[in-house]
Structure 1
Amino acid sequence: MPNLLFPLLLLSSFLMQNSNRLYDFTPDSTDEWEVEDDVVMGGQSEGHFTVTDDGHGRFYGHVSLANDGGFSSIERVLEGDADVSGEKAFTVRLKGDGKSYTLRVQSKRDQEFMHEATFPTSGEWQTVTIPFGIMEAKHHGEPVDVPEFDGGPVHKLQFMIGNGKEQDFVVLLDWIGVASR
């Protein structure tokens, strides 16, 4: 999937002009995002979330493969589901560390799967565009046979790293949005 997303990154500046924000990271964001690591399943990864003095979310830590682990994530339930009907893609403004990350969305509170897409980061500030049509439905990493995400409600946002590698990571997050093109 990352190979499909790389050419889409070239469209980012155009799509950014048509982007609506779902979430802006601010100095008050610290308590709004919850870390969820693989320790919920016996793993030993350790992620952290803070906010920088200039208001960027900073997600960092270490992914461990011990005990069948291998991921770290931050998540936030939106206050009142966001309606992204009529939109075509998610956008994320971030400064990664050259590693690949995954954006996941859950439409409904009781839904047991999330739609997700993994994308590379460049090490510089960039706006990544993730068309709804390339997001895959998964439950605990396994594909789920449901319709593709095509807009509608967004109940939860999750941002994660889980590349099958033991590694340290750090990414700065500015905002998460949606785009109409």
Structure 2
Amino acid sequence: MGGASEAKFLLNKDGFGEFLGHVSLENNGGFASVKYQIGAIEVDEFQKIQVKIKGDTLKYQLRLKTNKSERHSYVSYFETNGEWQTLELPLHEFYPTYRGRALELPKYPGKFLEELGFLIANKKDQNFKLEIEQISLI
């Protein structure tokens, strides 16, 4: 999209996922993201998504898609505190956005999950690092 941010996702020496890099404001940038298509998982019986993460005191988004071909994502923000955290994010609170703008559509319908991802978009030129131990539906 023209920005100059850099990001990567890897498995660290402890076996945890790491989403890390540098957010640049150059060239209309200001965000970095990673996403993973997981196939169609039925989520009707679940109420929340639980993430075990360790962040760098920055604010992130967890992003869900009910269908990988949808242009919009359903998002929930969370803040990290520099320590390991277990967050439980209610599925019914994820709301639809497209390119950073909230949409006038219903919140996450809770039928299927085909893609999930993380995004950082704090409108600051900054390094970031988010470790991910586990993501589960509860």
What TM-score results when the alignment is normalised by the length of structure 2?
0.94
**Is residue 103 from structure 1 mapped to residue 68 from structure 2 by the alignment?**
no
Residue 27 of structure 1 is matched in structure 2 by: none
**1:26 corresponds to:** none
CA RMSD of aligned residues (A): 1.1
Query: What CA distance in whole angstroms lies between the structure 2 residues aligned with 1:124 and 1:108?
Result: 33
Deviation of 1:128 after TM superposition, in Å, equals: 1.2
Compute the displacement of 1:58 (Å). 1.1
> Which of 14, 17, 23 matches 1:54?
14
Which residue of structure 2 lines up, in the alignment, with residue 163 of structure 1? 122
Contact 1:63 1:72 survives alignment (8 Å): yes
SS in 1 for 2:89: strand
* Other structure's SS at 1:108 match: coil
Structure 1 distance, partners of 2:125, 2:23, is 5
CA apart distance, 1:82: 1.2
**TM-aligned CA deviation for residue 47 of structure 1:** 0.5
Identity value in percent: 35
Separation (CA, whole Å) in 1 of partners of 2:31 and 2:88: 22
User: 2:114 is paired with a residue of what secondary structure?
Assistant: strand
Aligned to 1:69: 29
Alpha-carbon shift at residue 134 of structure 1 (Å): 2.3
* One-letter amino acid of the counterpart of residue 43, structure 1: G
Distance 1:129 1:158 in 2: 16
Aligned to 1:130: 89
Q: Output one character per residue of 1:123-176: Cα deviation in whole Å (capped at 9) or x when no partner.
A: 111111111232220011112121111311111111111111111011111111
C-alpha displacement at 1:113, in angstroms?
0.7
AA paired with 2:77?
T
Partners of 2:116 and 2:33 in 1: how far apart?
10
4+ long deviations beyond 4 Å: none
Q: State how many pairs are aligned.
A: 138
Q: What is the SS of the residue equivalent to 1:155?
A: strand
Q: 1:87 Cα deviation (Å)?
A: 1.4
Structure with higher strand content: 2
Structure 1 residues without counterparts, runs of 5 or longer: 1-40
Q: Gapped runs of 5+ residues in structure 2?
A: none
Aligned ranges 1:1-181 → 2 under 5 Å: 41-78=1-38, 80-179=39-138
Structure 2 CA distance for aligned equivalents of residues 162 and 92 of structure 1: 19
